[in-house]
């Protein structure tokens, strides 16, 4: 009985550690994507040549959409 209780508590601890590490990885990735998006936006606004490049605009838009989606998922998971 006692060993099964310890096993159950250990499994719960492992699951909560796994969930926490996944959330931390998600936060790190969203921070990385926001840094990349900020750099792209700065490049787009400062260099005239990049302002006319459609690929840069599209990639910046996709990164911003990903950041928005990951932040919404993160906020929902904390409730």
What percent of the chain has pLDDT above 70? 73
Are 35 and 60 within 8 A, CB to CB? no
C-alpha span between 52 and 33 (Å, rounded): 22
Enclosing H/E stretch for 28: helix 2-46
pLDDT for position 31: 83
In a domain, 5, yes or no: no
In a domain, 21, yes or no: no
- Confidence at 35, pLDDT banded by 50, 70, 90: confident
Q: Which domain, by its residues, includes 68?
A: 30-79
Count structural domains, the chain.
Answer: 1
Of residues 70 and 27, the one with the higher pLDDT is: 27
- Name the token pair of 74: 């993160």
User: Is residue 37 classed as helix, strand or coil in its secondary structure?
Assistant: helix
Are 65 and 30 within 8 A, CB to CB? no
In a domain, 38, yes or no: yes
Whether pTM exceeds 0.75: no
User: Is pLDDT at 46 greater than 70 in this prediction?
Assistant: no
- Confidence at 41, pLDDT banded by 50, 70, 90: confident
């Amino acid at each position: 009985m006692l060993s099964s209780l310890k096993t159950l508590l250990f499994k719960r601890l492992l699951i909560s550690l796994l969930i926490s590490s996944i959330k931390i990885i998600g936060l790190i990735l969203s921070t990385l994507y926001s840094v990349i998006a900020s750099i792209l936006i700065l490049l787009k606004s400062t260099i005239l040549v990049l302002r006319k490049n459609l690929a840069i605009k599209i990639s910046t838009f996709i990164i911003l959409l990903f950041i928005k989606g990951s932040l919404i998922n993160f906020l929902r998971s904390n409730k």
